[in-house]
Amino acid sequence: MFDNLTSRLQAVFSTLTGRGVLSEADVDAAMREVRMALLEADVNFKTVKGFVARVRERAVGADVMKSLTPGQMVVKIVLDELTALMGGSESRLVFSGRTPNVIMLVGLQGSGKTTASAKLASLLKKQGRSPILVACDVYRPAAVDQLEALGMQLEIPVYRGDGTDAVAIAQAGVREAVSRMRDVAIIDTAGRLHIDDAMMTEAAAIRDALRPDQVLMVIDAMTGQDAVNAATAFAERVDFDGVIVTKLDGDARGGAALSVKAVTGKPIKFAGVGEKLDALEAFHPERMAKRILGMGDVVTLIEKAQESFDETSAAEAEARIRSGVFTLDDFLKQLQQVRRMGSLGELLKMIPGASKLPPDASVDEGALVRTEAIIQSMTIAERAKPAIMNGARRERIARGAGVRVFDVNQVLKQFAQAQKMVKQLQTMEREGKKGKRRRFGMPGMPGPF
C-alpha cells in the first residue's frame, strides 16, 4: 500500500543525503516534495500541513545545519515525526479483571468488520485466551452465517441468538460467555453503507447496555479519507478506544492509516495485512514508519519467524545437521516453515536495504510452492539419496509435480548448495573455541534457516 509513498520519499532523501551541506532552500524544496508525496497518498490535508511544518522547523535548526551528515539528520527527523503521527508507540488492548472482558467492534458495512472480529478472536486465542464471538449484525444477509463459518474454522464458539434485537442478543451473548467460561466476548455489531442515526443509536445502545472494556472501530484503509471521516463521526457518538485498519496489504494509497490518529486522537491498535484469519498484527508506529521510509522492519521479521518456527522440530533439525544428516525431507521442512511466515514479497520489504533493489526486481511467490510439489513427488529413497535420480526419474518427478525437468534440476541444485552450507557450518563448529557451541541458524531466528 505504501510502495509509491516509499519510492517518492526515498527519491527526496537521496538528494539530501548526497550533499555535505544543506541550505534552508534545500530543506524547503525537500519539504515541498514530501508534502506532495503525502497528499498523493491521500493523507488528510491538515495533517500534512502540520507534519511538514514540524519537520521543517526541526530541519532548519542549528543541530542539523551544522551536522556532518545533515541529510541523514533530516531523515531521522522525518522518521520521528512519522512515528509520532501514527501514535508514537504501540497501543495495546486493556483487559479488566472482570470475566468476560467485552470487546465491541463498530464500523461501516464493507470495512471487513466481521472478518476482523474472527481475526481478533484468533489472535487472542493464540495468546492463551478463550474468546467467544457474538453475532449482532441482524441486518446484513448471511452476516451471522459468515461469522459462524469463520468460528468453525478457528474452533471458536459463536453465539447467534434469536430475533432482531441487537442489544438483547449482545446481552445474551455475554451471559453465554459466562456459562461457557469464555474470558473474552467479541461483539460484532451491524454496519451501514453510510453514517446514519439508526446505526449510531443502536451502537450506543449496545455500548450502554454492555459497558464494554474496549470499543474498536474497524476502518478500510482502501477508502482513504472517507474512512477517517467515518471514524470522526463514530468518535463523537460512540467514543471508541482504538482502531483496527483492514486491507493494509492492498494497493490503495493508504492515507487513512497515516491520518486517523491525528484527526480522531484514537490510536491504531491492529492492522489487517492479508486475507487469512491469522493476518492480523499489533500495530507498531515506529516499525511502520521505518517500512514506509524503506528502512525495513527486522523486529517484526524475527517475531514472524518465532511464531512460525516450531522449537522442537528446529532442535531436532539442528541435531541432524550437527550429525551430518541433511536430506531433502529436512530441506522441505525448512521451506514449509518459511512459507508459514507469509508472503515472500512482504518478508523482503522487512529486510533493511531491500527497498534499494532495482525496480524490475521481483519475488517469485510460486517458487516455494513448486519446490514443495517437486520434493513431494519424489520417493522416500530419492529424498534420502538424491544421487540415485537419473534422467527417467527426473522426468517422472516433473510430470508428478506439473513442472519442467529444468525446474527439478534447479531444486536439486539448490539442495546441493544447502548441503554445502551444512558442511561449512560443521567445519565452523569443529573450529570453534573449545567449550563453546556455535548455534546454527540466522541470528535471532530459531532453528537452522
Burial of 29 (0-12, 13-18, 19+ CB in 10 A): middle
Q: Are the C-beta atoms of residues 191 and 199 closer than 8 Å to each other?
A: yes
Q: Would you call the peptide bond into 352 cis, given omega within 30 degrees of 0 as the criterion?
A: no
CA gap 115, 246 in Å, rounded: 9
Among 350, 336, 269, 281, residue whose Cα is nearest residue 308: 336
Q: Is 364 exposed, middle or buried (0-12, 13-18, 19+ CB in 10 A)?
A: exposed
What was the pLDDT predicted at 445?
38
Those residues whose C-beta lies under 8 Å from the C-beta of residue 58, and which sit 6 or more positions away, are: 64, 77, 81
Contact 145, 199 (CB under 8 A): no
What's the pTM? Answer: 0.66
pLDDT score for 121? 93
pLDDT at residue number 169: 92
pLDDT of 368 reads 80
Q: Which of 405, 397, 402, 399 is nearest to 375 (CA)?
A: 397
Closest residue by Cα to residue 252 from 283, 217, 226: 226
**Beta pairing class for 268-272 and 242-246:** parallel
CA distances from 3 to 84, 435, 442 (A): 20, 48, 27
Low-confidence residues of the chain, pLDDT below 70? 1-4, 17-22, 62-69, 71, 193-195, 224, 249-255, 294-314, 317, 321, 323-324, 341-365, 429-449
Q: How far apart are CA 88 and CA 91, in angstroms?
A: 9
The burial class, CB within 10 Å (0-12 / 13-18 / 19+), for 416 is exposed
Q: What angle do CA 405, 407, 413 make, to 5 degrees?
A: 105
Question: CA-to-CA distance for 160 and 144, rounded, in angstroms?
Answer: 7
Task: Spell out the domains of the chain, with CATH numbers in brackets.
Answer: 3-85 (1.20.120.140), 101-289 (3.40.50.300), 302-431 (1.10.260.30)
**d(C-alpha 298, C-alpha 287), whole Å:** 9
